[in-house]
Structure 1
Amino acid sequence: MSGEAPAEQSGGSRLLFVDWARSAAYVLMVVAHVAPGDGPARILLVSEFLTAPLFALLVGVGAQLSWSASGQHGWRYVLREVIRAALVIGLGLLLAQSAASVLIVLVHLGVLMLLCLPLVRLHMTALAAFAALALLLAVGVPGLYRGLTGGHGVTTVATEAEEFVTALGLIGGIGGYRMTGLLLCAVLGMLAIRALQSAKAAWWRGALVSAGAFGVMLALLVAPNLLGLYEVHAYDGTPSEQIGVASGALGVLLAMWALERSPLGRALPSSVAQLLAAPGQAALTLYALQILVLHVYQVNNPLVRDDHWWMLALLIVLGVGFAVVWQAVLESLARRIPSARRWGRGPLEGLIRGVQDLLVPRPAEAPSFAGGPPTPPHRTGAR
């Protein structure tokens, strides 16, 4: 669900810190959906703010890596990415019919994948300029919408301007998932992965930048509430919320980059590193699996909320366990049946790759890196 680079190619390796960030997004998502409380010091409340922005940032990361690693930048590449996005949107529409008490984000992420297609081609300066425009839209569109509707979603302008107000609402004026805010996160992801792929800085410098990003998030999301300056709520679309969540999502990615390169990250056994990466590699499958579990629970318990600590533990253990077992089985199977490699990350990931190959076959199976060049010491086989 993050629009990552093709990941089922022979001889490929993945960027572990990106998969770790996707795994973190999965855990945050489960916490946001089913945790019955905010935890000690309300620490779990961060999941309400960061989950969707982090997935959006990873869409940008994945789109940039896909462009860099695919080696196919013509119509064939575009069609394959459009197919991926269309399938994600279709899955989102299907899951939206479930009884799960979850606001499905896949349709928005699929649209975001399409928006990223032309942006990955921009030079660094042009992309940075577009990031400034995205920031202006993320902050300005919700404010303009509130001004035109009196803050109540009811237009106060003339009838001929109602279509304009409706359009503002659709692109980011209102709603839990605002395309303008998600676009800002995606562009930040593109800029970040470009910088990180060429970065030679020590890991602790990345940790300091990550801490700075988290500091901005705390200053914009937490401090105003604690100091009584003004209220900030998840999904409220205020400048503090839009900038704060984007900064927090960036902080997660940078923290994972620093962790992978730190002495602790380098000391991790490869099996542990892969265990941490497995949920991120199967993020789309685990998203759908989570909705399926919540749907079945809600159908059988229509008058009972699904917010339980045991449900939180179940979804995390089930998600991680499913990803690890699936990938281990497929890795073994791929040694005997090479075509099984495309299914290595997860069932839905393999299905999307299969549809892409069926409708727009690759001209040749040239080796490529699924998520960028290999980053020692941990290497994971193509999945």
Structure 2
Amino acid sequence: MPTAARPPRLDGLDAARGLAVVSMLVAHLSPVGGPLTVSEYLTAPLFAVIIGTSMGVQLAERRPAAGPFLRDNAVRASVLIVLGVLLQRVYHQIAVILPYLGLLVVVLAPLALLLHRMPVRTVVLSAILSIVSPLVMDRARAWTATGGDRPRVVLELVHWLAAGGSYRVISLLAMALGGLALATVLRRAGRLPAAWAVGGLLTVAGLGTYLVGALTPAGASAYSGTTAEISGATLLGCASVVLSFGVVQVLRDHGAGRVAEPLLATGRLALSAYTLQILWLALVAAVRDQARDDTWWVLGSSLVVVVGSCWALERTWGTGPLEWLVHRLRRPAVRPRA
């Protein structure tokens, strides 16, 4: 497989994406009720925040035309949706988030074109969605419960957009808009010592939001879709991105940059990492006669297989198979000269 030519990347953003993959494995596979289940509060929100941040950085630094930007994101979204549907059929013990992220990309891309230079309006819209989302979720669930003879594809779409039990595009959109707003200050906020100050403030604000929400009747539990959960998750996701930039810089400044390479490789190959996770878990389930996957052994082996494979793939080929595919699909066709 040839190495795909790639534009310069932000290592801090790749580290945050790698952290999201590791957090996902921990959330999916750590024993239920154990201390590591707190990762459930971070994983999906961090993926959503990173999508928003990535779009904001791309628009600010590469300044693509609207047409190619929307086209590239439509291709990316299509791959996420199709792959997610297929992977969910391969393995049923976890809810595959890829279709939700695909639809999120579709919805977010035109909003990003309009809002990437308006961080205040972006934050306001994110806050509004965090308030409106629980109401829309309740209405959507009530509507789908009385689905009757409505087409299944319509019911499935509503489920992805607003009625989902663990994931909903409307909730993820609020988080992604937080990431889009973060992109406007990321270059400054991600540098030391600002990264510690900004990341610390966002962390305290996120934890405080969760605490206040937990004291209300609606609560703030992971995946609940309450206003407190969405707002707290957005703040913690943004904090994780900023702190990832700070950690990478500290490691580089102390000559320990190689320590971060496995995590960075996993972040760069996140789509292949997600797919490898599902295929590995399906294999493990077949060997273990479909036993539950939330065990320390399955978690440890999955971390080794997923992170180790991504590190090896990047060192050997420079990219992952699915990243190469998306790059090929997004590459504009070259017309032959007359």
TM-score (norm: length of structure 1): 0.76
Give the structure 2 partner of residue 271 of structure 1. 258
Q: Is the 8 A contact 1:18 1:253 kept in 2?
A: yes
Q: Is the 8 A contact 2:130 2:230 kept in 1?
A: yes
Q: Is the 8 A contact 2:248 2:257 kept in 1?
A: no
Give the structure 1 partner of residue 202 of structure 2. 213
In structure 2, distance between residues paired with 1:347 and 1:78: 23
* Aligned length, in residue pairs: 327
Pairwise CA distance, 1:108: 1.0
Q: Is the 8 A contact 1:127 1:187 kept in 2?
A: no
In structure 2, distance between residues paired with 1:125 and 1:224: 31
In structure 1, distance between residues paired with 2:211 and 2:128: 22
Q: Does 1:193 align with 2:193?
A: no
**SS of equivalent to 2:90:** coil
In structure 2, distance between residues paired with 1:319 and 1:261: 25
In structure 2, distance between residues paired with 1:72 and 1:241: 34
User: Which string of whole-angstrom CA distances, capped at 9 and with x for unpartnered residues, describes residues 238-274 of structure 1?
Assistant: 1111111111111100111222334x44214343333
Pairwise CA distance, 1:214: 1.5
Q: Give the direction of change, closer, same or farther, for the CA distance of 1:121–1:317 in structure 2 (3 Å limit).
A: same
In structure 2, distance between residues paired with 1:81 and 1:230: 35
Give the structure 2 partner of residue 340 of structure 1. none
Give the structure 1 partner of residue 83 of structure 2. 91
Pairwise CA distance, 1:307: 1.0
User: Which string of whole-angstrom CA distances, capped at 9 and with x for unpartnered residues, describes residues 157-214 of structure 1?
Assistant: x99xx9xxx89765335521121221111111122122112x2786133212211221
2:327 partner amino acid: R
1:184 partner amino acid: A
Pairwise CA distance, 1:60: 1.1
In structure 1, distance between residues paired with 2:326 and 2:196: 35
Q: Is the 8 A contact 2:116 2:180 kept in 1?
A: no
List aligned pairs for 1:6-17, cutoff 5 A: 8-9=4-5, 12-17=7-12
Q: Does 1:250 align with 2:222?
A: no
In structure 2, distance between residues paired with 1:126 and 1:75: 20
Pairwise CA distance, 1:113: 1.4
Give the structure 1 partner of residue 24 of structure 2. 29
Q: Is the 8 A contact 2:30 2:294 kept in 1?
A: yes
Give the structure 2 partner of residue 120 of structure 1. 112
In structure 1, distance between residues paired with 2:217 and 2:207: 14
Q: Does 1:347 align with 2:337?
A: no
Q: Is the 8 A contact 2:202 2:239 kept in 1?
A: yes
In structure 2, distance between residues paired with 1:181 and 1:154: 17
Larger gyration radius, structure 1 or structure 2: 1
Unaligned runs of 5+ in 2: none
User: Which structure is higher in RCO with an 8 Å CA cutoff and minimum separation 6?
Assistant: 1
Q: Give the direction of change, closer, same or farther, for the CA distance of 1:72–1:251 in structure 2 (3 Å limit).
A: closer
Pairwise CA distance, 1:71: 5.4
Instruction: Pick the aligned partner of 1:142 from 128, 131, 134.
Output: 134
**SS of equivalent to 2:114:** coil
Pairwise CA distance, 1:308: 1.0
Q: Is the 8 A contact 1:203 1:258 kept in 2?
A: yes
**SS of equivalent to 2:20:** helix
Q: Is the 8 A contact 1:119 1:127 kept in 2?
A: no
TM-score (norm: length of structure 2): 0.85
Q: Which protein is richer in helix relative to its size?
A: 2
In percent, how many aligned pairs have the same letter? 27
Q: Is the 8 A contact 2:17 2:47 kept in 1?
A: yes
Give the structure 2 partner of residue 259 of structure 1. 247
Q: Is the 8 A contact 2:42 2:236 kept in 1?
A: yes
User: Which string of whole-angstrom CA distances, capped at 9 and with x for unpartnered residues, describes residues 80-116 of structure 1?
Assistant: 3211211111101111112341101111111111222
User: Which string of whole-angstrom CA distances, capped at 9 and with x for unpartnered residues, describes residues 110-164 of structure 1?
Assistant: 1111222223323556453143123212222313554x58xxx446xx99xx9xx
Unaligned runs of 5+ in 1: 1-6, 331-343, 364-383
Pairwise CA distance, 1:281: 0.6
